[in-house]
């Protein structure tokens, strides 16, 4: 198996648990509350800025020019393209720019973004790349699953459609190809470190949705 095939197999139970989370079940059947969706949307918009920074760091460390361009374009999409999507939903659901700016990262979002940035700067480049993949891949597959299960008249259909779009899945395929290329040229020990980083980020993806469902905030 390629690195990404093995990573998916190793974490298949975690992915299944992600599909079955209350947040994702209710997003699919249209019963997710606006409070939970709003919490998620705000945190996701904050998260994507940090994710874009991590991608930019990875781009600067890339081993060839094509990968520099790939990662830099992904960073731009995370910060610019995704921000436009979020801004539209925030206007639709009554979140002002002032409210967004005044809302801090939740504990889970801060944990996840800190992990990605620390890994991007401080770990070997293959490990940093592996930590970035779950945000692409798990999100795309969850989006595809929710899209298939979405009920007619789902108020969140526009959001679901975005992450089930073929363009998003094409970006995932490119990222997987890059990871498989990197893994094929490194050592077994480094590949294990890459697997550990992938699993940690996959856990944090689960935690991010769970935090939104719980309307997580700082306790003090």
pLDDT tens digits, 109-121: 999 999 999 999 9
Average pLDDT over residues 47-64: 95
In 3D, which of 189, 183, 77, 191 has the Cα closest to residue 135?
Answer: 77
Average pLDDT over residues 150-155: 91
Domain harbouring 45, CATH code: 1.20.910.10
Domain membership flag for residue 175:
yes
Question: Is pLDDT above 80 for 89?
Answer: no
- Give the number of residues written for the chain: 220
Domain membership flag for residue 220:
no
Domain membership flag for residue 127:
yes
Q: Which domain range does residue 145 map to? A: 3-214
pLDDT of residue 115: 98
Which two structure tokens, joined as six digits, stand for 77? 């999409």
CB atoms within 10 A of CB 15: 19
> Domains in the chain: how many in total?
1
* Residue 101 banded pLDDT, cuts 50, 70, 90: confident
pLDDT of residue 94: 79
* Residue 81 banded pLDDT, cuts 50, 70, 90: low
Domain membership flag for residue 194:
yes
Percentage of residues in the chain with pLDDT exceeding 70? 97
Domain membership flag for residue 118:
yes
3 state DSSP class of 215: coil
Domain membership flag for residue 219:
no
Domain membership flag for residue 99:
yes
Residue with tokens 């945190």: 43
In sequence order, which ranges of 77-215 are alpha helices (DSSP H)?
A: 82-92, 97-102, 107-122, 125-149, 157-163, 166-184, 188-213
Mean pLDDT, the chain, as a whole number?
93
Domain membership flag for residue 141:
yes
């Amino acid at each position: 198996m390629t690195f990404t095939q093995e990573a998916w197999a190793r974490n298949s139970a975690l992915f299944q648990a992600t599909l079955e989370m209350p947040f994702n079940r209710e997003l699919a059947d249209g019963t997710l509350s606006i409070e939970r969706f709003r919490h998620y949307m705000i945190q996701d918009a904050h998260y994507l800025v940090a994710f874009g920074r991590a991608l930019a760091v990875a781009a600067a460390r890339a081993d060839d020019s094509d990968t520099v361009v790939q990662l830099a374009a992904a960073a731009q999409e995370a910060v610019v393209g995704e921000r436009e999507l979020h801004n539209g939903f925030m206007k639709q659901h009554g979140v002002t720019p002032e409210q967004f700016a005044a809302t801090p990262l939740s504990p889970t979002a801060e944990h996840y973004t800190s992990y990605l940035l620390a890994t991007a700067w401080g770990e070997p480049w293959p490990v940093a790349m592996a930590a970035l993949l779950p945000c692409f891949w798990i999100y795309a597959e969850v989006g595809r699953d929710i899209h298939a299960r979405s009920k007619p008249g789902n108020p969140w259909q526009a959001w679901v459609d975005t992450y089930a779009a073929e363009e998003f899945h094409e970006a995932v395929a490119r990222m997987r190809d890059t990871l498989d290329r990197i893994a094929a040229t490194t050592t077994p020990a480094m590949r294990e470190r890459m697997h550990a980083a992938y699993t940690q980020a996959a856990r944090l993806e689960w935690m991010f949705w769970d935090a939104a469902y719980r309307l997580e905030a700082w306790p003090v």
